[in-house]
């Protein structure tokens, strides 16, 4: 097995988990709040302020972002295919029996739909249409990293899988396009490609096929060295899927290390755990698990679980190639 491929593969999953767990410390904060609570910056989980929102998790816990990703991962390991009804069952049990902490409004609304267990896509479409075809939250892009690893030798399957899993809860084409973009990017990075003009152009063109509204957010992330231009903490749209996409693209193309990229993203506040999860997955796919600071890896509450299932997935995916 190629050691660098393994490093980037595992880096994707651990990068997401670290970005989520650390980003929780600044979730729903403005940049001014971030400076107030963390005047010297947030550098480890123990620093996370224990207010009413954050005290629901232990320092080093990941949130619903990575919880949903690992449910997809567990389903892949058990079913050995993308089985949306099995994933839907896991989501439903987590929300209504395990009382999934932090789950978003869109996901809850879709899971409460009477058709959800038998036809998740129809349920998600119904909720989206009831919103006036406007719901485009970031609750699907936050869990899509693992879709870039399954069937990772076949880009067309990655695209189809990312679409299918996104539309289980988020039917809007902006959500679907952003999930496909992140999944395809992760796949390319794990396979050794650099985030150069050629790759980014391919992914941008692919995303645009879903919705023209994606392109300006892609361009905004690429065009400015100042991440503040993305206004990630703006209250009215901090949970927008294209905001999270732009955060991930910015980190991937402007940072020179995993730590630099993730730190820049989460210190913007806003939906910092989700932005951190996506940026962390992309940065991990580029730089590898070996580039993630040890203190962040060691501090993950569920590190041993994630290590086990990530290794199982890696072996299964490598087996797909054989």
Tell me which residue of 73, 94, 220 sits closest to 144, measured CA to CA. 73
Instruction: Kindly give the parts of the chain with pLDDT less than 70.
Output: 1-2, 319-322
CA-CA distance, 296 to 257, in Å (whole number)?
14
Joined tokens for residue 322: 């054989």
Predicted pLDDT at 321: 58
pLDDT at 118: 94
Residue 100: per-residue pLDDT: 82
DSSP 3-state assignment of 240? strand
Predicted local confidence at residue 45, as pLDDT: 99
Rg of the Cα atoms in the chain? 18
Task: Tell me what pLDDT residue 3 has.
Answer: 80
Alpha-carbon dihedral 240, 282, 273, 88, rounded to 10 degrees:
70
According to DSSP, residue 2 is labeled -
Task: Please provide the average confidence, as pLDDT, over all residues in the chain.
Answer: 97
d(CA 257, CA 239): 25
pTM: 0.98
**CATH class of segment(s) 3-40+58-321:** mainly alpha
Q: What are phi and psi of 270, to 5 degrees?
A: 75, -145
Q: What token pair was written down for 211?
A: 């919705």
CB 66 within 8 A of CB 277: yes
Q: How far is CA 14 from CA 60, 132, 198, 287, 294, in A?
A: 12, 37, 27, 12, 11
How many whole angstroms separate alpha carbon 128 and alpha carbon 189? 32
């Amino acid at each position: 097995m190629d050691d660098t491929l393994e490093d980037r593969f595992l880096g994707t999953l651990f990068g997401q988990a670290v970005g989520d767990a650390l980003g929780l410390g600044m979730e729903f904060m403005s940049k001014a709040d971030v400076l107030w609570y963390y005047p010297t910056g947030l550098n480890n989980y123990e620093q996370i302020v224990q207010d009413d929102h954050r005290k629901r998790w232990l320092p080093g816990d990941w949130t619903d972002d990575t919880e949903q990703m690992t449910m997809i991962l567990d389903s892949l390991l058990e079913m050995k295919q993308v089985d949306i009804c099995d994933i839907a069952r896991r989501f439903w049990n987590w929300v209504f029996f395990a009382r999934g902490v932090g789950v978003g409004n869109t996901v809850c609304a879709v899971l409460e739909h009477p058709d959800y267990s038998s036809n998740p896509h129809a349920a998600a479409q119904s909720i989206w249409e009831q919103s006036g075809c406007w719901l485009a939250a970031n609750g699907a892009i936050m869990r899509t990293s693992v879709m870039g690893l399954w069937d990772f030798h076949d880009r067309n399957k990655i695209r189809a899988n990312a679409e299918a899993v996104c539309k289980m809860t988020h039917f809007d084409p902006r959500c679907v396009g952003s999930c496909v973009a992140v999944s395809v990017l992760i796949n390319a990075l794990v396979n050794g490609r650099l985030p150069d003009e050629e790759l980014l152009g391919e992914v941008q063109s692919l995303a645009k096929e879903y919705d023209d509204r994606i392109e300006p957010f892609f361009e905004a992330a690429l065009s400015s060295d100042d991440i503040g231009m993305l206004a990630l903490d703006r209250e009215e749209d901090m949970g927008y899927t294209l905001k999270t996409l732009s955060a991930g693209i910015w980190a991937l193309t402007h940072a020179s290390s995993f730590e630099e990229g993730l730190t820049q993203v989460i210190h913007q506040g806003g939906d910092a755990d989700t932005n951190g999860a996506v940026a962390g997955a992309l940065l991990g796919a580029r730089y590898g698990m070996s580039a993630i600071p040890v203190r962040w890896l060691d501090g993950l509450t569920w590190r041993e679980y994630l290590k086990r299932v990530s290794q199982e997935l890696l072996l299964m995916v490598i087996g797909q190639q054989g």
